[in-house]
Structure 1
């Protein structure tokens, strides 16, 4: 079964296109493949920077201790959750 593709169109200045083309030629790929690979690599980096993080031993211990602290009761939240819904 063939996978469908989705078009992505963009306009760039000629000098930008020329730089992209030069880099794509060095890697022996076409412009579309080069742009797709570069965009995908950057997208993965952005996502991992928002999702993954590394801590040294001291910071990790502090992080674990913060996770172990019992949360404080929030009176407003407790009242809200115990309130009868308007449609009831």
Structure 2
């Protein structure tokens, strides 16, 4: 829609330059865990919300990178690249799999 921007509510500016939050995340914790997190947040000079969001964001990035990025030592990297460049011949199971029609084409 060409006029969608006109219909949107203008964003109000907050007193700080931080990005305005758009959604909530609700969690429950034991008293001990909350105390631990509160103490850590104070130690780094952040609010509880800032600390938890920063921590969760960083952990989410780490989890996703662990699934997409891996680092090898130079000699292992060379062996990995060589294996990619010279794969073994396709066996009977792989050939059968490649001949099957994908579910979305059935």
Q: Which has the higher contact order (CA 8 A, sep 6+)?
A: 1
Would you identify which runs of 4 or more consecutive aligned residues in structure 1 move more than 4 Å? none
User: Is the alpha carbon distance of 1:10 and 1:79 closer, same or farther for their aligned partners in structure 2, counting shifts above 3 Å?
Assistant: closer
User: Is the alpha carbon distance of 1:75 and 1:18 closer, same or farther for their aligned partners in structure 2, counting shifts above 3 Å?
Assistant: closer
- Deviation, 1:80, is 3.0
Aligned to 1:28: 45
TM-score by length of 1: 0.75
Aligned to 1:49: 66
- Deviation, 1:79, is 4.0
Structure 1: gaps (5+ residues): none
Structure 2: gaps (5+ residues): 1-9, 12-19
Alignment length (residue pairs) = 83
Give the Cα–Cα distance (whole angstroms) in 1 for the partners of residues 46 and 24 of structure 2.
18
In the alignment, structure 1 residue 15 sits paired with structure 2 residue 35: no
Aligned to 1:38: 55
Alignment of 1:67-82 (within 5 A): 67-70=84-87, 71-72=89-90, 74-77=94-97, 79-80=99-100
Higher normalized helix content (fraction of residues) = 1
- Deviation, 1:72, is 2.1
